[in-house]
Each structure stands twice: as structure tokens, then as C-alpha cells.
A and B are shown apart, each in its own frame.
Chain A
Amino acid sequence: MIARLDTWLKRVPNWAVWLAGFLPLAWLVWLVVSNDLGVDPVKEIEHRLGKIALWFLIGGLVITPLRKFVGLNFLRYRRAIGLLAFIYVVLHLMAWAVFDMGLLLSQAANDLFRRPYLIFGISAFILLIPLAVTSNKASIRKLGANWRRLHWLVYPAVLLGVVHYLWQMKVIRTEGWIWLAVVILLLATRIKFPKSSR
């Protein structure tokens, strides 16, 4: 059953993943155009983009445990998922700077370095930049074993991202705790225990 699903999944072309990845953006654009984002569309756009970025970041972290524990191999889609996550992070950041801060850059900068939740968010973004830049075959070849070491940065980035999400809430809601728990669980699957000697 799993094996059949796995074989079927392998037939999904990468462009389909990209296409699916832009559906949330298309939906958001539609909501903007149809004026369906409520009274405060700016906040809505900003928050939705951040949430979508979080989906894809978590999606990228799910791939290895799925392969290891379930036997489903999505590895060939991981680059697309990771890059989509990065694109949504960039859009989220742009929505903040342009719509929310109204390009009041001095206040934005001021806020950035004094508000812990913004520092967490921007740090996550900065950590993701080298990962996005090296998401190509040439970089993998050139960097060799260092590529894996570099891409280890995705773990702190996702953790910073989810803390950023929780910290900006006036009161942390159940939904926030669930996202944090999911991230911690996924990171926990990466912990390597020393092999038992039996």
C-alpha cells in the first residue's frame, strides 16, 4: 500500500509541486482583489503569508521522517518546498515593510532591533538566505559535504520562525502551541542517539 503510494507519488512532476505551491498565493491575491480580507487587509495579508511560509518550512521538515518512519519518499520535491517556503518568507517580510510599516524604514529598523519577536523572524530569514542561494545542483557539487552542514541551518531557522509566530501574539493561543509542538517533534526526530552496542 505504502509502496504503491510511493510509486505513484514519484510520477508527480516537480512543476506540479511548484504550481500547487503558488495556489495559496493565488488564493490570497484573489481575496485581495475581491476585497474579502475584512476590515484590516494589511494585517491579514501579512499574517497569512507568514503562516503559509510556516506550512512550507514544516513541510520541508516532514520529508525525512516520512521517508524514515513511513517509507514515503518525497525527497525529490524538497528543493521546491524549501524554495517555496523562502519565497513566502520574503513576501511576508515585504508585506511587513511596505504595507504594515508603510516603508517608514527608520521605525521599521528601530523596531527590528528592539523587539525580540522581530529579531527572531528576521534571524530566521537571514539563516534561510544561504540555503535558498545554494539550492541548486552546482552548489551541491561544489560544496560537497559542506552543503549538508550548511543546510542544517534550516533547523534553527524553523525554530526561530515558529517562536516569532508565537511571540507576536498578544496571548498565545492553542493553535500557536500546536505549531510549536509540531516543530519540536519534527526536530526531535533528528536527534541521533548513540547506537546501542547489543
Chain B
Amino acid sequence: MANRTKMNWSDVTPRPLWLNRRALIAGMGATALASPALAKIAAQPSRFSTDAKPNTLEEITNYNNFYEFGWDKTDPAANAGQLKIDPWSVQVDGLVDRPGTYDLADIMKDRPLEERIYRFRCVEAWSMVIPWIGFELAGLLNRFGVQPSAKYVAFQTLHRPEEMPGQRAGGINWPYVEGLRLDEAMNPLTIMATGLYGENLPKQNGAPLRLVVPWKYGFKSIKSIVKISLVAEQPPTTWQQLQPSEYGFFANVNPEVNHPRWSQATERTIGGGFFASRKETLKFNGYGDEVASLYSGLDLAKNY
């Protein structure tokens, strides 16, 4: 069959290996250290990790919205291979004491890597559980010396149409941009992910460096970041520019505030099988204890 001949990530990574990794994740702790050969990236477990069962590597790497590589969820897995992620540098500018262009190695220097098993909720009302590896964004921003006048952080994805076929097509005003309020960016839940399942981040998941903000819809978690700017005003974001009535700046997961075209009350869990894969969506994707206070006094129906 045609589909069989197509390479996917389960072909790249020998099946026993990633199954082993599943076991590794499941048995986090002392037993995990028993097979160090499999864990390429040393990452500490985190108290912020959920104990929910993560999705398989195959699911996480073959179901992606990364429109730089095409509209279909399988397009990124098919097309992201051509992306060159080495060398990689990140431009840091705006209201910081130490602006500049930082090499990826420099960005990652002294960043304590943790494994963060987070729930991931897409605005399209599906969800996964993903074992990210990354570091807290706060620590990175502090290195640059955030000036008191900075109120927001703006992020930008790589713009390289020759390697990103989706950028050669219209529909979106490239490059993809996203932003966070500074307090959101400084929240310990907010991480820069560089890995997944104990390995470097696959390209279709936003290699080599992506944002992960687990209490917000997935589109906030911008991929393949090349620029971080500290700014005073709320920065424009791609989806908000595209469809402001449907996608807001905050984009907090909220079952009470529906997307104009579909309900956000429930979500379908990817990998949940044919029956009963739909479950109720939690406010702030279940991270309310950590982040609800960020929005006290804010009308979340208006600031969606």
C-alpha cells in the first residue's frame, strides 16, 4: 500500500527503542537510571509533570500543526526533514540589558534541563500528553537582563521559504509570531523545549527551540524560534491577526469560552481509540493552581 512506503518517524526510530523509552518514562525515577544508554539527554524530573500517560512518539511526531510545512497534520513529518537547524541562533532585542545574537549552544548554556510531561490542548479541541524536555523561560530571560519597562515578550519563528514549503504558499503573513505577557513568560510552567522523549526535538515539533505554555492553546507555543524581543506593548500574534474574532492574545484553555465555530467544553484525546475518546476540558488546561492568579480581575470571556 502506498501509505506503507512512506517514511514516518516510527521508521526512523526503531520500534523497540521507542517502546523502551515509553517504559522509561513510565518508570521515571531510580529505575529510569538503570538504562542510561537510552536516555540521550539528561533531564531532571519535575514536580510540574502530570502522571497521565504520555502519547506515543509516533502520535506526537505525526500529528502536527506546523503550517510552515503544509496544512495537513502529516505534512510537517513529511516536509520538515529539509529544515537546517544547525547552525541556529536567536536574536534577542528590545528592552534588555544584553541584546544580541546568541548561538543555540549559548542559549542553552547552564540551562537546567527538566522533563516536563504536560497536557497539550489544541484550539481545535484535541489533546495529547507530551513528555517535553526543556528549561524554564524565566531563567533565560533573566540572563538577558529584562528592563523594568518591558511588559511583554514577543517571539518569532524562522522565515526560510526555501526550506519551509508552507511559507511559499499564501494564507498566513509569515513569519509566525507569538507573544506572552511578561508575568506569563516568567511563570515556572512556561518552558523552552529542546527535546522530547529523551531526545532532541524532532523538526516537525519545532526544533531546535520552541515555547511550551501548557495552560494555553497550542498555537501559543511557537516553534523554531529565531527571535525573542522584550517589549512594552502587547505584540501582534499570527492567529489574532488572521482571525481576531476567533483567536485572542491570551488563548487560555477555557471550557467556558467557546470558539465561535465550535465548543471548547470537551476535547478528543488523540490515541484514545474510537469510542469515548472525548473528555471534559479543564480550565487553564488543569493548571489553574499555578496560573489562575495571573488573570484575577480579568474578564476571560472578553480577553480570550
Contact = CB atoms under 8 A, between A and B. Distances in A.
B126 interface: yes
Most buried by B among A38, A100, A167, A168: A38
Given A39-B62, A171-B242, A107 B275 contact: no
A170 B275 contact: no
B128 to A, nearest CB: 9
A101 B265 CA distance: 11
B224 to A, nearest CB: 20
Nearest to A116: B261
Nearest to B171: A171
Given A102-B277, A171-B172, A39 B271 contact: yes
A170 B58 CA distance: 24
A34 B172 contact: no
A174 to B, nearest CB: 8
Most buried by B among A36, A40, A107, A167: A40
Given A34-B1, A39-B59, A170 B278 contact: no
Looking at chain B, what size class is its interface with the partner chain?
20 to 34
A104 interface: yes
A41 B274 CA distance: 8
A38 B71 contact: no
Given A38-B74, A42-B268, A111 B277 contact: no
B176 to A, nearest CB: 13
B1 A110 contact: no
B301 interface: no
B3 A40 contact: no
B142 interface: no
Contact of B1 (A36, A98, A107): A36
Contact of A107 (B63, B73, B242, B263): B263
B1 A117 contact: no
A110 to B, nearest CB: 7
A38 B268 contact: no
Nearest to A168: B261
A173 B271 contact: no
Contacts of A190: none
A115 B63 CA distance: 25
A137 interface: no
Contacts of B74: 38
Contacts of B58: 39
A42 B268 CA distance: 9
Interface string B48-63: 0000000000110011
Given A115-B261, A117-B261, A38 B63 contact: yes
Interface in B249-275: 258, 261-263, 265-266, 268, 270-271, 274-275
B124 interface: yes
B63 A39 contact: yes
A167 B262 CA distance: 11
A175 B224 CA distance: 28
B184 to A, nearest CB: 24
Nearest to B242: A171
Contacts of A102: 268, 275-278
Given A39-B59, A100-B268, A114-B258, A171 B71 contact: yes
B231 to A, nearest CB: 27
Enumerate the 6 nearest inter-chain pairs by beta-carbon distance, A residue then B residue, closest first. Answer: A102-B278, A39-B63, A39-B59, A36-B3, A111-B263, A39-B62
